[in-house]
Structure 1
Amino acid sequence: MVSLMVLAWAGLAGCASSPSAQFYTLVPIAEVETRSDPLAGDRLSIGLGPLAWPLFLDRPQLVRRDGVRLRIDEFHRWGGSLNDDFLRVWGENLAYLLDNSRILVYPTEIRSPVDYRVLAEILTFEGRGDQEVVLKVRWVVTDPYLERALVIRETSYRRPLTMTGEVDDEARLVIGLSEVLGDFSRDVAAALRRLPARSVPH
């Protein structure tokens, strides 16, 4: 009995000394944060999502890769769902880049037709050691009226992790991931700008 009590107390002591979890969120491109004027354009209505994720990324913890080994830190986590966070920031970026408030993020309760929908399969969205972050994504722009794909691409983005003493390593990782998401957003915005406005009533 005594030995069991000692083990239980040791377990509690270990829990008490464990570090507290830190929570992180992606951020939109800097221009979004500094913009003061409202969005003006509404040439297109764009639907974003759904996204597909590999299981090793679809988790609460931040992920880094060292070769074939994954580093998953139990004490550094996303503040919510990574899927929802990615879609939220992607939508904010595109709204700014297209000067368009008609960006509908899947899933949404708003029942409104969209001119085009952008779907994506995230292949890689992680840190590579302590050197860089990588986003690799397959994405498709579809015409929901004609039920066909207009743009099909697979693109990769890399950013070095900025060395600074002002933030911790995990914050640098999330900043880097936000930057590659910004790069991806710019490519999607450029593709959408080349598409014609639709005459279908909304």
Structure 2
Amino acid sequence: MGILAGCAGAPPRLYVLTPLPPGAPNGGNSANGPTGARRRSGRSIGVQPVTMPEYLDRPEIVAHTAAHELSANRDDQWAERLPTNVTRVLAENLSVLLDTDRVRVMPARDGDRFDYEVAVDFDRFERTVSGDSALAARWAIRDGATGKVLVRDETRLSTPVPASGYPALVAAMNDNLTALSRDIAAAIGKLPQKGGARTRS
């Protein structure tokens, strides 16, 4: 009886983080026309799959309920693996913010090398005991040809969640990811413009 009741229950609510739209403020390319097509001559950037603690890499959305206690509600889940979602959104955000269509998640299927490569390691990306949305990430930008680290920095954010419930939490997490993307894009924007991607021999 219990098994049948469980099968008849409502499916979980699924959530996903989303990228900036083309032409977003302080990014994008509204000057390129209404289609928002990004420049093919822009910087080529490879984004490595992000890393994060294993307790975050699960279907349920994780939240702290005490200093050493977490909750994971089966009724509210990510639509895909959180690291995969974050990596894809980060790459799309950098494409918008840097006005280039030459951003790829690594390894690139076409075998291209990149002007710059981005690596991000998350230490936190969850709701805190106080109810805020916290993000703590260490990130680096490397030269795509030599592998030399050109920039190494970290972003730490704590954003109030204006309402109870998972929709507001996910929206705050999305805002934090956008802010991280802006930090990385600003650092890349200060680096020299190169000649573009090179095909591996």
TM interval, short-chain normalised: 0.7 to 0.9
The aligned residue for residue 153 of structure 2 is 153
Map of 1:124 onto structure 2: 124
Match of 1:44 in 2: 43
Q: Identify the residue that residue 133 of structure 2 maps to in structure 1.
A: 133
* Alignment match, 1:20: 11
> Aligned partners of 1:72 and 1:201: how far apart in 2?
42
The yes-or-no answer on 1:65 pairing with 2:64 is: yes
Contact 1:136/1:156, CA 8 A, preserved across alignment: yes
What's the counterpart of residue 79 of structure 1? Answer: 79
Question: What is the TM-score normalised by the length of structure 1?
Answer: 0.84
Give the corresponding residue for 1:179. 175
TM-score between both structures, scaled by the size of structure 2: 0.85
Structure 2: runs of 5+ lacking an equivalent: none
Kindly provide the CA deviation profile for residues 74-101 of structure 1, in whole angstroms up to 9, marking residues without a partner as x: 1211111211110111111111110111
Shift of 1:33: 7.3
Structure 1 counterpart of 2:18, which letter?
A: V
Distance 2:113 2:84 in 1: 21
> Could you tell me how far apart the structure 2 residues matched to 1:131 and 1:200 are?
44
Structure (1 or 2) with the greater helix fraction: 1
- For 1:176 and 1:184, the matched residues in 2 are separated by 13
Q: Tell which structure's C-alpha radius of gyration is larger.
A: 1
Amino acid at match of 1:64: A
* Counterpart in the other structure of 1:106: 106
Structure 1 residue 13: deviation in Å? Answer: 4.3
Q: Percent identity at matched positions?
A: 28
Look up the SS of the partner of 1:188 in the other structure.
Answer: helix
Write the deviation string for residues 151-185 of structure 1: whole angstroms up to 9, x where unpaired: 1112201211123xxxx711111111110000000
CA 1:17–1:130: 2 relative to 1, 3 Å? farther
Residue aligned with 1:52, SS: coil
Q: Distance in 2 between matches of 1:142 and 1:63?
A: 31
* Closer/same/farther in 2, CA of residues 113 and 147 from structure 1, 3 Å limit: same
Q: Residue 22 of structure 2 contacts residue 36 of structure 2 at CA under 8 Å; is this kept in 1?
A: no
